[in-house]
A = this chain, B = another copy of it.
Amino acid sequence: EFDQIHNYFSLNPLYRASEMRKDTAGLQAAKNNMSTKFVLFSDQKPFLLRSEEPSRKYKFAVFNINQLGTELLERGTVIFLGLETWDPDSNAWFAVDIKEELSDIGPKFFPEGKYATPFPVTMQMEPTQAGIFAEAHSVLCWLDKYKFCSTCGSATKIAEGGYKRVCQNWECSSNKGVQNTCYPRVDPSLIMLVVSPDKKDCLLGRQKRFPPKMYSCLAGFMEPGECLEDTCRREVEEESGIKVGRVDYHSSQPWPFPAVLMLGCIAYARTSALKVDTSELEEARWFSRAEVAQMLAGQHPHGLYVPPGEAIAHQLIKSWVASSFSNL
């Protein structure tokens, strides 16, 4: 096998079978198949069970059509997540999002289950389940926040297994040609570990909403008309005053709150004098490799720490600490 980084939330084992999305009759048949699996949400909150594994505390409760019933599916928002394998006869998976008034159906079959506020609970799922959660949660949030046509303000209707919204005003230009208004939104964002010019230190910062003592990589949304490296340089300069030269892509991670694509990179600073944008960051400073190693290991003398391994920030930091630059 090939060796490639796969971050948490990107280990979805399902084959999305996008060719099935347009087959309304096929999707209907799949919904009524007793082998089909359903995961449940209420107002975009996943219905989860406690799992046995201590470090992977949560898992989906999985339902079948007899348990949920066709009426519930009609009253909820149903999306097609994919098939278990490339075999068209393999089990299909769907997610159903229901309003609170119908939410008793969850505990009815799994009395120990709970609807959970997704963050940070979903950071502690079995990785393949976290991947299924990422797909389902992002699409359901998009369906919830994008009910109206942004081009004309009319109501829209869900199509293609949840992967499209069609404006019900047939005169609307969103129905002419292919328009991005009709498809789920994914927001590309950069997350960067900035390495100092002498390569001895890296730059970490604190957003105001972070828990005390946690430091992480800088990050920022891509803007129209930028390539990945442009965004990295712009955001670092905006937030810290540091000028970045070379930018190396590291890995990426879907961040399903609601649908961010984190593009992780290592950025090489050309300057080191900080001018922190205090409207966005509470603090940002250079950290030595030794100090960061302590933070990663949970052994920092003042209890400073970095995000857990499920966050791409952790992987970027870890890569740098493990990298073979001389530390002299």
Per-position binary interface string of chain A over residues 188-219, scored 1 when its CB falls under 8 Å from any chain B CB and 0 otherwise: 10000000000000000000000000000000
Contact of A147 among B2, B9, B134, B150 (CB under 8 A): B150
Stretch of A52-60, A102-110, A250-258, A317-325 lying at the B interface: A250-258
Q: Does A302 contact B (CB under 8 A)?
A: no
Q: Does A42 contact B (CB under 8 A)?
A: no
Residues from chain B with Cβ under 8 Å of A6 in the complex? 227, 229
Residues from chain B with Cβ under 8 Å of A256 in the complex? 224-225
In whole angstroms, how far apart are the Cα atoms of A32 and B152 in the complex? Answer: 33
Q: Does A186 contact B (CB under 8 A)?
A: yes
Q: Which of A97-150 contact B (CB under 8 A)?
A: 131, 134-139, 142, 145-150
Residues from chain B with Cβ under 8 Å of A184 in the complex? 223-224
Q: Which of A255-289 contact B (CB under 8 A)?
A: 256, 258-259, 261, 263, 268, 277
Q: Does A226 contact B (CB under 8 A)?
A: yes
Given contacts A184-B224, A249-B249, contact A151 B155 (CB under 8 A): no
Q: Does A294 contact B (CB under 8 A)?
A: no
In whole angstroms, how far apart are the Cα atoms of A268 and B150 in the complex? Answer: 39
Determine the residue in chain B with the shortest Cβ distance to A184. B224
Stretch of A12-20, A23-31, A63-71 lying at the B interface: A12-20
Given contacts A151-B145, A153-B155, contact A224 B254 (CB under 8 A): yes
Residues from chain B with Cβ under 8 Å of A146 in the complex? 150-151, 181
Q: Does A234 contact B (CB under 8 A)?
A: yes
Q: Does A246 contact B (CB under 8 A)?
A: yes
Contact present for A148 and B145 (CB under 8 Å): no
Contact present for A229 and B252 (CB under 8 Å): yes
Interface residues on A, range: 35 or more
Residues from chain B with Cβ under 8 Å of A234 in the complex? 16, 18
In whole angstroms, how far apart are the Cα atoms of A193 and B220 in the complex? Answer: 28
Q: Does A33 contact B (CB under 8 A)?
A: no
Q: Does A326 contact B (CB under 8 A)?
A: no
Determine the residue in chain B with the shortest Cβ distance to A173. B145
Contact present for A2 and B268 (CB under 8 Å): yes
Contact of A150 among B149, B228, B229, B261 (CB under 8 A): B149
Contact of A4 among B136, B145, B229 (CB under 8 A): B229
Most buried by B among A6, A227, A229: A227
Contact present for A142 and B224 (CB under 8 Å): yes
Q: Does A91 contact B (CB under 8 A)?
A: no
Q: Does A222 contact B (CB under 8 A)?
A: yes
Contact present for B246 and A228 (CB under 8 Å): no
In whole angstroms, how far apart are the Cα atoms of A258 and B181 in the complex? Answer: 11
Given contacts A147-B151, A148-B149, A148-B153, contact A252 B227 (CB under 8 A): yes
Contact present for B148 and A9 (CB under 8 Å): no
Given contacts A10-B230, A134-B224, A225-B256, contact A261 B188 (CB under 8 A): yes
Q: What 7 pairs between A and B have smallest CB-CB spacing?
A: A138-B224, A135-B225, A148-B153, A134-B225, A10-B227, A249-B249, A2-B246
Q: In the complex, given contacts A16-B223, A180-B185, what are 11 additional A-B residue pairs having Cβ atoms less than 8 angstroms apart?
A: A2-B246, A18-B234, A135-B223, A138-B224, A146-B151, A147-B150, A148-B148, A148-B150, A148-B153, A163-B223, A228-B252
